[in-house]
Amino acid sequence: MNMEQQGSIAVNQLGYRNKDAKIARIAGEGNRRFRLVNHVSGEEVWQGQTLSAFEDAASGIMVSWGDFSAWEQPGTYRIEDEDGQSSYPFMISDVVYEEAHQALLKAFYYFRCGVELEEEYAGPWKHAPCHLTPALVYGEEPRRIDAKGGWHDAGDYGKYVAPGAKAVADLLLAYECYPTAFAEPLPLPESDGVMPDVLHECRYELEWMLRMQDSETGGVFHKLTTLQFPGPDVMPEEDHAELYITPVSATATGCFAGVMAMAARVYAAYDASFAAACLQAAERAWAWLELHPDYPGFRNPPEISTGEYGDEQDMDERYWAAAELYRTTGESRYHQAFQQFARQEAFDKYELGWADMGGYGTISYLMSEQEQDPELAVRLQAGLQQRAAELAAVSSRDGFGISLKPEQYIWGSNMLVMNHAMLLLIADRLSGSPAFERHALEHIHYLLGANVMGISYVTGLGTRSILYPHHRPSEGDGVEAPVPGLVSGGPNYGKQDDYAREHLAGRAPAASFADVMESYATNEVTIYWNSPAVFVLSHFI
């Protein structure tokens, strides 16, 4: 049921910081009176008039904005309109997003593979160790590799290098930009009061990635999965099918080189030997890339039907790897390689998706303390600011304040929502001006309930949050509540699953969502949808 059918008023169900802009999204024609009500006492504390309603192309409804930014008094409130319709309750407080930030980060612990999730840390979502058997290298049987550990990628139990690298990169960038946001322990089994838990968690994935580097060539295997997906309610420890490691790919190797060079820099202050191992691995991966300048894109072998993460274009991954290796080592050969890739027009230099890693290369170069090519740095900075301005312009026209055009409500649209918010904040950071911050914050409001569905797209956060994500442990663990802190993929106009095709036909792009396990095209979860959300929340706490 979308917002129009439900007749609700959409707000961020967690709330708003005292001095931030606060806008309720109200469905319906015309403009109308609305009031702010103390949710505990029922007392009206403030009243206002909405702006004129307009047709929102993405959601397919008429929507007006009720701006109550002027009210800064802490408390728990709700919005009511003149027809008696009410929003879900929300807070106004200086402390709104800390709990959400912790939950989004703690989700990575729940994605862990190869280790027992103990009740002390996992609560009712505990489970036994899983996927401990050494994996067969596909096409090289009987060669086996012990590649246990790391994070399950999504609602299934596959483990993939390129998406994992995006997730780790987002978290390490968040730590580099906002270290104080990670001062509080989660806690984790590794929590020691010395190294922040975000780095303990990233290390768990990085150590798995190190096992995925081919000891003979330095190239990096693309993924580790079973031949087919397990059943929808199979717990990880019950998934006993043979594990396979697929062949080396250039995209995995490029992502690996980039994230390992980044890790070498970040971990140097905490564990010099681990940092050195990461850098050595990155340099071996780079050597493989240099030996294989034109390498075919990855495709699943015929017997394997799990997630492919195919990518014909590997120049963006090489661009990112060169940037991180230069930033970490200062070696001119990496700078020269970066400059060469930067001249290419074959990839986008501001995207932050697992298939388009160019944005990470640009960000690394612009944030680097190494000597820069002045002309190139100016061009990349100008391009970043232009992209951010374009996103802000779309946000200003959108009924719910976000930067997605109707055609961008694709599989994992909430990743784009958070990627865009992340890019807006980084553009601010590199320009020294908070010009885009308010638009980034609207993206958080959208994720947490200020959307046409009137739902928080994060499990366990908000009065009405998703309950039935496409996530096998949440389906099979016997616990009524889903694993908390998981970001749903969100509305998907493509409707690529049977449930969505049958039940969401005719829905507008932003309303093409179903909170059911069967709708994997709209309601799956993944590590790399959580990771940019962690980055964005880090800015606001």
DSSP letter, residue 459: T
Q: Within 10 A of 188 (CB to CB), how many other CB atoms are there?
A: 18
Question: What gap in Å lies between CA 93 and CA 101, rounded to an integer?
Answer: 16
- Please say whether the beta carbons of 464 and 435 come within 8 A: no
- Please say whether the beta carbons of 284 and 344 come within 8 A: no
Q: How many CA atoms lie within 13 A of 406 on its CB side?
A: 10
Q: Which helix (H) or strand (E) holds 290?
A: helix 272-291
Give me 158's structure tokens.
Answer: 């596959």
- Please enumerate in sequence order all residues whose Cβ is within 8 A of that of 445, keeping only pairs 6 or more positions apart, or say none: 11, 12, 16, 23, 401
Order of strands, sheet of 61-67, starting from the edge strand that comes earlier in the sequence: 9-10, 23-27, 61-67, 54-56
Which positions are catalytic? Answer: 515, 524
In degrees, rounded to 5, the angle at the alpha carbon of residue 409 between the alpha carbons of residues 407 and 415 is: 130
Q: How many CA atoms lie within 13 A of 353 on its CB side?
A: 18
DSSP letter, residue 505: T
Q: Which residue has the tokens 């990496």?
A: 334
